[in-house]
């Protein structure tokens, strides 16, 4: 494995959380970045998201962990309730013992706050150039690097390209060419003022109300001043992936079998956004030569483990570590990064599908679900999620086959190549 003498140039397609994190991870190594974002402004839509300890480990590695912590709400526990009879299915404390076990907290944040904290760090880096209204329509891979061509005719060239462009990734269509798997699950999201939340539901926890073919989630945002509301249901319609304005009448029609206590939440938002969700079957490869994928472009997943953003952050840190280990040999780095991430992200995608089945259980399956966790100690819960939450940046390349990992001598050579930068 040979290292390149000079830092490469890289095109990053997509300015969401994963693209921003990847820009930061690579620029910190001396890599010059052109970040192509299709929107007219850099920003995030959406509402709240959950951040497990693995996300904070990645954010700390990127140097933005404290900034994100300042805007987050640290929750007391994770709760699942039965939306039919209001019985508690499971309650897992995520306080001191959880933090001691996983070295980091469990928190919830507004998506815009997380994106903004990373964006602030990225804006200050002289090696990152932003290009807005830059919707990539095609890419060309050649022996002398890559070219991305935007809808308005601009052409960007670099040594390598990373597709961080989401479920409908243009870069993925070039590398793999598969179709998204539209799940048929529809997600409605809204943010409401804390004063509009029922007093007895203002819990400092992500709470899942699990119902038949549907569920509701609520948790506090922005120091408890707001609450994030998320409802999910199995659509009766033939769905296509996309985001639109939502209809309160549609939401209510899917929650008729749900208890009045959680159902009252559906009256609180003044407006909803509607996501028809999709994922993809995991693939063994998502890199080709000087091109790779990251985040939802590589491994889109549904929301049932609240790990979409967390996996993108892990990807970004791992990509940076792979580039560092390979001393700017980008095809080798992309191959190493991919090998370190494929099995882990596939496990999350497949686990999420199973968790969705548990959330939406009905009939006998609901009874089985409700019998799984009573009496389980917190330590047993922690053991069950060890594989997910104990991820650490210093071990992020360990899942790659030894043959792809550079030798200590090669790592030393790569470090020498990086040191002037």
Answer whether 18's CB lies under 8 Å from 295's CB: yes
- 352-379 pLDDT, tens digit per residue, is 999 999 999 999 999 999 999 999 999 9
Q: Where are the domains of the chain?
A: 9-75+97-181+283-359+377-418
What percent of the chain stands above pLDDT 70?
Answer: 95
- 132-172 pLDDT, tens digit per residue, is 999 999 999 987 899 999 999 999 999 999 999 999 999 99
List the structure tokens of 104: 């980091």
- 232-256 pLDDT, tens digit per residue, is 999 888 888 788 888 888 999 999 8
Q: Give CA separation, 352 vs 97, 225, 301, in Å.
A: 25, 30, 7
3-state secondary structure of 40: coil
CA 47/CA 218 separation, integer angstroms: 11
Determine the pLDDT at residue 420: 47
Torsion, CA 373, CA 379, CA 380, CA 386, rounded to 10: 120
- Look up tokens 């509009």; give the residue: 196
What is the pLDDT averaged over residues 120-142? 95
Domain spanning 9-75+97-181+283-359+377-418: which CATH class is it, in words? alpha beta
| Type and span of the H or E element at 82 | strand 77-82
Single pTM value for the model: 0.94
> Is residue 417's pLDDT more than 80?
no
* β-strand pairing of 226-234 with 214-221: antiparallel
- Look up tokens 């991820």; give the residue: 391
> Is residue 409's pLDDT more than 80?
no
- 264-280 pLDDT, tens digit per residue, is 999 988 888 888 888 99
Least confident window among 23-37, 48-62, 315-329, 405-419: 405-419
Instruction: Assign 421 a pLDDT band (cuts: 50, 70, 90).
Output: very low
Q: Is 393 exposed, middle or buried (0-12, 13-18, 19+ CB in 10 A)?
A: middle
CA 407/CA 227 separation, integer angstroms: 49
Answer whether 111's CB lies under 8 Å from 130's CB: no
Q: Identify which has the larger pLDDT, 32 or 402.
A: 32
What is the pLDDT averaged over residues 179-187? 89
């Amino acid at each position: 494995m040979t290292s390149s003498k000079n830092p490469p140039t890289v095109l990053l397609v997509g300015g969401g959380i994963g693209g921003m994190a990847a820009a930061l991870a690579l620029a910190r190594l001396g890599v010059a970045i052109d970040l192509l974002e299709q929107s007219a402004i850099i920003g995030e839509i959406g509402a709240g998201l959950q951040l497990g300890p693995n996300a904070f480990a990645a954010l700390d590695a990127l140097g933005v962990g404290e900034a994100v912590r300042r805007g987050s709400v640290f929750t007391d526990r994770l709760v699942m309730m039965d939306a039919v009879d209001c019985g508690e299915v499971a309650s897992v404390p995520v306080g001191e013992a959880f933090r001691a076990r996983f070295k980091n907290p469990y928190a919830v944040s507004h998506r815009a706050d997380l994106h903004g904290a990373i964006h602030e760090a990225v804006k200050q880096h002289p090696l990152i150039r932003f290009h807005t209204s830059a919707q990539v329509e095609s890419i060309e891979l050649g022996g002398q690097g890559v070219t991305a061509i935007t809808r308005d005719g601009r052409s960007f060239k670099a040594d390598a390209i990373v597709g961080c462009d989401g479920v409908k990734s243009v870069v993925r269509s070039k590398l793999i060419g598969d179709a998204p798997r539209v799940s048929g699950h529809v997600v409605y999201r809204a943010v409401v003022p804390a004063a509009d939340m029922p007093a007895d539901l203002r819990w400092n926890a992500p709470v899942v109300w699990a119902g038949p073919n549907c569920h509701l989630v609520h948790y506090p945002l922005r120091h408890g001043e707001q609450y994030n509301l998320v409802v999910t249901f199995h659509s009766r319609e033939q769905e296509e992936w996309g985001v639109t304005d939502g209809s309160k009448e549609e939401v209510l029609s899917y929650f008729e079998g749900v208890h009045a206590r959680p159902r009252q939440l559906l009256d609180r938002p003044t407006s909803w956004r509607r996501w028809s969700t999709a994922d993809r079957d995991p693939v063994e490869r998502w890199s080709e030569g000087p091109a790779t994928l990251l985040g939802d472009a590589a491994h889109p997943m549904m929301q049932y483990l609240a790990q979409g953003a967390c996996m993108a952050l892990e990807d970004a840190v791992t990509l940076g570590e792979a580039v560092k280990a390979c001393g700017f040999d980008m095809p080798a780095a992309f191959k190493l990064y991919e090998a370190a991430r494929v099995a882990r992200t596939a496990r999350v995608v497949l686990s999420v599908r199973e968790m969705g089945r548990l959330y939406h259980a009905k009939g006998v399956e609901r009874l089985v679900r409700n019998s799984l966790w009573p009496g389980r100690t917190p330590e047993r819960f922690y053991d069950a999620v060890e594989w997910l939450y104990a991820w650490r940046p210093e071990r992020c390349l360990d899942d790659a086959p030894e043959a792809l990992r550079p030798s200590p001598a090669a790592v030393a050579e790569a470090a020498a190549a990086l040191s002037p930068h």
